[in-house]
């Protein structure tokens, strides 16, 4: 027995990864369905040994579908997710649309798996933003130990976080620079090749970007409303893997050694922290891996109880597709029975 699983946005960066991870982890799938826009109708996408023919989301009938893994953009989710839920499916949504809805749980299985039970209100579970996911996986064991008061984070986010066309733009601009062609900008506001851009998603009234706001509010919803977060989110010319420099201030004393001890035992975390050349993890090394890597852990002596750490993960896997599949695994184990 298995579940009929539909992947919305199956031709995209996250959707392809979702199908690959479902197959890799032997998720109990009785039938897999690949959905995208009408542009992709008839194209084929791999699912394990099978090739799935892509169908049009707009014409798809969700009756009989058990689980929908969705990543086709916030506007698309706003339209189809309630319809899919009304037809009886549980939707695990990767977009930002439902994340702050009080009737939709926002889940990272290593951090707040108990929240999944809240899916019954709307039939929807939200997957957090990629940068939030890897940060809260790293912070949860430290919060349990010494209660986090404030987080100051700067991100170094890869272009794959902005979709497949953004990856093409980094490639094309890089090539253009070498052959002296003009640089064209479509996905990013400034040249991304050999540059960094402190602007992800739209600006808000107070000057924060929406990506930065997401890290603040999502961390509160997942880890605890009293935690203050201030973020600066930056796009960097890396294809896959987000990095974060995180400064954490705690209510209670915590030493670097105590932090290391809890992180070594934490779920989903790999502590690689040697004070030597190559004794830390970079985004390139995280690509294709499922873990959140923590390096450069050290005490911050400028505040009473402070730590600095460097957090790296594959944004398409733990930051998106893997987290969604892990939610689906918990959902079928604890809530759906077949």
Ligand X SMILES: NC(=O)c1ccc[n+]([C@@H]2O[C@H](COP(=O)([O-])OP(=O)(O)OC[C@H]3O[C@@H](n4cnc5c(N)ncnc54)[C@H](OP(=O)(O)O)[C@@H]3O)[C@@H](O)[C@H]2O)c1
Which residues are annotated as part of the binding site for substrate?
Answer: 157, 235
Site string for ligand X, 165-184 (x = CB under 6 A): x-------------------
What percentage of the chain's residues is helix, strand, coil (to nearest 5)?
35, 25, 40
- Looking at 59-67, 72-80, 186-194, 215-223, which segment touches ligand X (CB under 6 A)? 72-80
Whole-number minimum distance, CB 75 to ligand X, in Å? 8
Residue with tokens 């093409």: 168
Q: Which is nearer to ligand X, 72 or 254 (CB)?
A: 72
Whole-number minimum distance, CB 12 to ligand X, in Å? 2
Whole-number minimum distance, CB 33 to ligand X, in Å? 13
User: Applying CB under 6 A, which of residues 72, 159, 266, 309 lies at the interface with ligand X?
Assistant: 72
Q: Which is nearer to ligand X, 31 or 79 (CB)?
A: 79
Q: Which of 131, 117, 122 is nearest to 219 (CA)?
A: 131
Whole-number minimum distance, CB 257 to ligand X, in Å? 33
Report yes or no: 27 and 338 within 8 Å, Cβ to Cβ: no
Catalytic residue among 97, 130, 143, 233: 130
Q: What is the C-alpha radius of gyration for the chain, rounded to an integer number of angstroms?
A: 20
Q: Which is nearer to ligand X, 11 or 305 (CB)?
A: 11
Whole-number minimum distance, CB 283 to ligand X, in Å? 12
User: Applying CB under 6 A, which of residues 320, 322, 325, 331 lies at the interface with ligand X?
Assistant: 320
* DSSP for residue 321: I
Q: Is 130 a catalytic residue?
A: yes
Residue with CB nearest ligand X? 12
3-state helix/strand/coil string of 33-57:
EEEECHHHCCCEEEECCEEEECEEH
Q: Is 233 a catalytic residue?
A: no
| Neighbour-count burial for 106-141, b at 16+ CB within 10 Å, e otherwise | bbbbbbbbebbebbeebbbbbbbbbbbbbbbbbbbb
Contact flag: residue 71 with ligand X (CB under 6 A):
yes
Catalytic residue among 97, 143, 233, 242: 242
Q: Which is nearer to ligand X, 11 or 208 (CB)?
A: 11
Q: Which of 268, 274, 266, 265 is nearest to 295 (CA)?
A: 274
Give how many residues touch ligand X by CB under 6 A.
Answer: 29
Contact flag: residue 108 with ligand X (CB under 6 A):
no
Whole-number minimum distance, CB 93 to ligand X, in Å? 9
Of 6-45, binders to ligand X (CB under 6 A) are 9-15, 36-37, 39-40
Token pair listed for 12: 């995209």
CA atoms of 38 and 124, how far apart (whole Å)? 24
CA atoms of 229 and 212, how far apart (whole Å)? 9
Within 10 A of 295 (CB to CB), how many other CB atoms are there? 18
Contact flag: residue 316 with ligand X (CB under 6 A):
yes
Within 10 A of 218 (CB to CB), how many other CB atoms are there? 24
CA atoms of 38 and 42, how far apart (whole Å)? 9
Report yes or no: 227 and 143 within 8 Å, Cβ to Cβ: yes
User: Applying CB under 6 A, which of residues 20, 134, 173, 315 lies at the interface with ligand X?
Assistant: 315
Contact flag: residue 274 with ligand X (CB under 6 A):
no
Q: What is the DSSP string of 131-174?
A: HHHHHHHHHHHHHHHH-EEEEEEEEEE-GGGG-HHHHHHHHHHH
3-state DSSP assignment of residue 77: helix
Q: Which is nearer to ligand X, 19 or 72 (CB)?
A: 72
Annotated binding residues, written as ranges, equal: 11-14, 39-40, 99, 157, 160-161, 182, 235, 315
Q: Which is nearer to ligand X, 147 or 199 (CB)?
A: 199
Residues that bind ligand X (CB under 6 A): 9-15, 36-37, 39-40, 57, 71-74, 76, 94-95, 130, 160-161, 163-165, 315-316, 319-320
Please identify every residue annotated as catalytic.
130, 242
């Amino acid at each position: 027995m298995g579940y009929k699983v539909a992947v919305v946005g199956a031709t995209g960066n996250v959707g392809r990864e979702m199908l690959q991870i479902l197959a890799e982890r032997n998720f109990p799938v009785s039938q897999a369905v690949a959905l995208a826009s009408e542009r992709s109708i008839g194209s084929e996408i791999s699912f394990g040994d099978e090739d799935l023919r892509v169908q049009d989301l707009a014409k798809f009938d969700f009756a009989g579908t058990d689980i929908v893994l969705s990543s086709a953009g916030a506007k698309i989710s706003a339209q189809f997710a309630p319809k899919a839920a009304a037809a009886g499916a549980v939707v695990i949504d990767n977009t930002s649309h439902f994340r702050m809805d009080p009737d939709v749980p926002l889940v990272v299985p290593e951090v707040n798996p108990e929240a999944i039970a809240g899916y019954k209100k709307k039939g929807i579970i939200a997957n957090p933003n990629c940068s939030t996911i890897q940060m809260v996986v790293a912070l949860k064991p430290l919060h349990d130990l010494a209660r986090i008061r404030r987080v100051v984070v700067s991100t170094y986010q890869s272009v794959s976080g902005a979709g497949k066309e953004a990856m093409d733009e980094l490639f094309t601009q890089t090539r253009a620079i070498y052959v002296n062609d003009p640089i064209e900008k479509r996905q990013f506001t400034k040249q991304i090749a050999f540059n960094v851009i402190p602007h992800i998603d739209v600006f808000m009234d107070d000057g924060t970007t929406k990506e930065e706001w997401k890290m603040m509010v999502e961390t509160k919803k997942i880890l605890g409303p009293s935690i203050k977060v201030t973020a600066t989110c930056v796009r960097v010319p890396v294809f896959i893997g987000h990095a974060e420099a995180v400064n954490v201030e705690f209510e209670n004393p915590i030493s670097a050694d105590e932090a290391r001890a809890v992180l070594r035992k934490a779920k989903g975390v790999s502590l690689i922290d040697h004070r030597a050349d190559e004794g830390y993890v970079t985004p390139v090394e995280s690509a294709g891996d499922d873990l959140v890597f923590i390096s450069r852990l050290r005490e911050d002596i400028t505040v009473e109880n402070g730590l600095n750490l460097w957090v790296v993960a594959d944004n398409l896997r733990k930051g998106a597709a893997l987290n969604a599949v892990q939610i689906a695994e918990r959902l079928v184990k604890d809530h759906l029975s077949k």
